[in-house]
């Protein structure tokens, strides 16, 4: 029999990508919209898990956003994410779920981590202030999974694993010009600048380097990790990095998007605005050594993402 799977956050960018893959495998999937189930409400979540008896849970639900959203709404970011994570992880354990995958974030690593960042860097230094609330929430989810494994792993045969993805982009993202992540925000702003023959203003100097992972590659990594053999799970650290394996400057990213969108206008970098840490790349050797690696290069991924944008935001 196929395992009964709950995908929390199925309508988000990552959730949609995982759903596409699981549906293709004819998996036994259960989903709930926010209107049907408020994941911040403990009683509702406990009752839902008790009734369903899942074998696997993908914990992807949560509040996400870029620098502007994180600095403007820190209370919502830390409260909503901690409540969702805590309710699902605890309800999963109490209802007998053996395998759970929690989606962490590379923003949980210290601001001045040695590059590329290894899994051991977690909690070794101060966080980046612009997304501290979100990072603390993610750390709590990682440590909650780790604690359940430590206390109940052997007695209950639990495998609650966290993945730490780098900056994501791809179909299903929110293309808000200020509240979304860097790639979708830039795609929308460059598209609008192109159509209006406007000057394009970019926060920061453009020298900061980031690693970008196509969302379908992350979905494959999630499913790959979920289905590892028990003996492999038992030897893994509490969290694993997931990335493309190469970082680029924001200026290079902007140039790539301009090329995909055929934007010929002026680009101005505003050095008075924040741009976060100067470099953030992940050491993905552990997951790569298990047999997974990203396959979508930035140009190919941007073309697919822009196609999705044009479909979602028709002029």
Name the helix (H) or strand (E) containing 5: strand 4-8
Place of tokens 């966290």: 162
Distance CA 86, CA 92 (A): 10
Task: Please report where in the chains the tokens 């192109």 appear, as a residue.
Answer: 194
CB atoms inside a 10 Å sphere around CB 180: 22
Q: In whole angstroms, how far apart are CA 221 and each of 12, 44, 148, 227, 240?
A: 17, 30, 22, 10, 10
User: Which residues are the active-site residues?
Assistant: 134
What angle, rounded to 10 degrees, do the helices at 132-156 and 74-94 form? 10
Q: Is 297 exposed, middle or buried (0-12, 13-18, 19+ CB in 10 A)?
A: exposed
Measure the CA dihedral 146/151/156/158, to 10°. Answer: 10
Using alpha carbons, select from 165, 181, 183 the residue that is nearest to residue 66: 181
Helix residue ranges per DSSP H, the chain: 13-24, 42-52, 67-72, 74-94, 132-156, 182-196, 215-226, 230-234, 250-261, 285-290, 298-312
H or E stretch covering 164? strand 159-165
Which residue in 130, 216, 116, 239 sits closest to 169, CA to CA? 216
């Amino acid at each position: 029999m196929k395992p009964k799977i709950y995908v929390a956050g199925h309508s988000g960018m990552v959730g949609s990508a995982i759903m596409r893959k699981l549906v293709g495998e004819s998996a036994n999937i259960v989903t709930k919209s926010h209107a049907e189930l408020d994941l911040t409400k403990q009683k509702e979540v406990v009752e839902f898990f008790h009734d369903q008896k899942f074998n696997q849970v993908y914990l992807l639900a949560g509040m996400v956003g870029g620098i502007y959203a994180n600095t403007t709404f820190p209370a919502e970011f830390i409260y909503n994410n901690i409540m969702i994570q805590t309710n699902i992880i605890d309800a999963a354990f109490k209802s007998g779920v053996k395998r759970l995958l929690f989606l962490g974030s590379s923003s949980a690593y210290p601001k001045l981590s040695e590059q590329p960042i290894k899994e051991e860097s977690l909690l070794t230094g101060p966080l980046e202030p612009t997304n501290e609330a979100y990072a603390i929430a993610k750390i709590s989810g990682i440590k909650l999974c780790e604690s359940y494994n430590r206390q109940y792993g052997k007695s209950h045969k639990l495998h609650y694993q966290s993945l730490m993805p780098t900056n994501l982009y791809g179909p299903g993202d929110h293309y808000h010009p200020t509240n979304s992540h860097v790639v979708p925000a830039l795609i929308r702003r460059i598209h609008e600048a192109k159509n209006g023959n406007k000057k394009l203003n970019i926060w920061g100097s453009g020298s900061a380097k980031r690693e970008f992972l196509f969302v379908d590659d992350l979905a494959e990594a999630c499913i790959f990790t979920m289905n590892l053999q028990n003996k492999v799970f038992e030897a893994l650290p509490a969290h694993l990095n997931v990335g493309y394996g190469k970082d680029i400057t924001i200026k290079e990213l902007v140039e790539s998007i301009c090329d995909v969108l055929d934007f010929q206008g002026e680009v101005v970098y505003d050095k008075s605005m924040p741009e976060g840490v100067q470099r953030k790349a992940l050491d993905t050797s552990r997951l790569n050594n298990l047999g997974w690696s990203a396959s979508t290069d930035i140009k190919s991924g941007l073309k697919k993402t822009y196609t999705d944008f044009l479909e979602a935001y028709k002029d």
